[in-house]
Amino acid sequence: MDKRDEIIELQYQLIDQLASRNFTNIYQDFWGYPPKPAQEGDAPSGETPPQENAQATSSPDAPAGNEEIPKEKIEDLLAELDEYIGLEAIKDEVRDLINLIKINRLRREHDLPTPDLSLHMVFAGNPGTGKTMMARLMARVYHSLDILSKGHLVEVDRSGLVAGYVGQTALKTAEVIEKALGGVLFIDEAYALSPEHAESDYGREAIETILKAMEDHRDDLIVIVAGYSELMDHFINSNPGLKSRFNRYLFFEDYTEDEMVEIFKMRCAKSSYHLRDEEAEETLRERLRFERKSEDFGNARGVRNLFEKILVAQSNRLAESEEITKEMLMELTKEDIETA
């Protein structure tokens, strides 16, 4: 076994130790997603639960068939919300909505009139700002408040809704809607369903099918659409039905430098790594400042990608060492960050 293989073997041992501590896996927590206690039947840490298909994917909490997800206490969900890094404006919006739903429910219990609430939402913001994470939480919140019967999330984009021939799109979209009943249908990059200068595009058929389902299943289906802010404005205004049904907008701001450093440190802590010293942290900050100038920087996704590159740099550095200790395996240096 050469030095590089030895390092990889030692890192796998660390990963096995982490698995025994029930840490959430990377796709759940790179936004600053707080740890969730393991449940009986959960996939082992580090494994992604299987998905039904590549176009329409369910959340890790999605029910199998008609199985209902256990209802959670709203207090526990609010506590989880508070643990998220950043997203302060979003947290306030979610709390306001929860309070509004609670009071409306009390008014009904006292036979008082209540206005009809549109709980469908538009999530606008750049990639990696936590939109999918928040949609998953909202599904659980709506389930806790008895708005939804199951509380799962089905995530889809244009490719999961639109077919290549006339008449097939409605059927394909209806199948996705059927999976989402009782939960949240989350449509990422929803603006792709209504491209500019494409009057005959099949995406419009998908939109009409979704609008009809929102009316037919208004008591047990929530639709959340997401994407870039300007493009989402065009999408909502492209159809009068969309404009009337989506009146709740949440804007996800880019993470600040401090928040991204905090996300990086959380990523390190959950994988048993740490920055060696203040010099390494300052180098990390400089790197993040540089990365943020790029138009395609992905916020928390960018932090995750940088973290993975730094681990590669660390592995290459350790491969040159004669003796490797546990502390060396856990330590990320200024040089690792610069090399990445």
| Dihedral over Cα of 296, 298, 299, 304: its sign | negative
Does the model's pTM come out above 0.85?
Answer: no
310 SS3 class: helix
Q: List pLDDT tens digits, range 244-255.
A: 999 899 999 999
Instruction: Judge whether 296 and 239 are in contact, CB under 8 Å.
Output: no
At 199 the pLDDT is 61
What's the CA gap between 26 and 261, in Å, rounded?
Answer: 16
Q: List pLDDT tens digits, range 55-67.
A: 566 554 454 444 5
Q: Is the pLDDT of residue 20 over 60?
A: no
At 196 the pLDDT is 73
Instruction: Judge whether 280 and 334 are in contact, CB under 8 Å.
Output: yes
Q: List pLDDT tens digits, range 139-191.
A: 999 999 999 999 999 999 999 999 988 789 999 999 999 999 999 999 999 99
Q: How is domain 47-252 classified at the CATH fold level?
A: Rossmann fold (3.40.50)
Grade residue 106 by pLDDT with cuts at 50, 70 and 90: very high
Reference 189, options 237, 119, 124; nearest CA is: 124
Q: What is the mean pLDDT of residues 299-325?
A: 93
- How many residues are there in the chain? 340
At 298 the pLDDT is 85
> Any idea of the CA torsion for 184, 188, 193, 195, to the nearest 10 degrees?
150
Instruction: Judge whether 255 and 130 are in contact, CB under 8 Å.
Output: no
At 27 the pLDDT is 38
Architecture of domain 3-23+271-339 in CATH? Orthogonal Bundle (1.10)
At 279 the pLDDT is 95
Burial class (CB in 10 A: 0-12, 13-18, 19+), 178: exposed
Question: 157: number of CA atoms within 13 Å, CB side?
Answer: 9
β-sheet bridge partners, residue 251: 124
Between 162 and 12, whose confidence is greater? 162
Q: Is the pLDDT of residue 22 over 70?
A: no
At 278 the pLDDT is 94
222 SS3 class: strand
What's the CA gap between 302 and 320, in Å, rounded?
Answer: 28
Instruction: Judge whether 39 and 130 are in contact, CB under 8 Å.
Output: no
At 47 the pLDDT is 35
Reference 285, options 334, 228, 233; nearest CA is: 334
At 296 the pLDDT is 78
Grade residue 330 by pLDDT with cuts at 50, 70 and 90: very high
Q: What is the mean pLDDT of residues 268-276?
A: 94
Sorted by where each begins, the domain ranges of the chain are 3-23+271-339, 47-252
219 SS3 class: coil
* Listed range (73-77, 145-149, 290-294) with the worst mean pLDDT: 290-294
What is the strand order of the sheet 222-227 is part of? 56-58, 153-156, 184-187, 222-227, 121-125, 249-252
Between 37 and 87, whose confidence is greater? 87
At 293 the pLDDT is 81
Residue 47's identity, in one-letter code, is: E
Grade residue 132 by pLDDT with cuts at 50, 70 and 90: very high
At 5 the pLDDT is 62
Burial class (CB in 10 A: 0-12, 13-18, 19+), 111: exposed
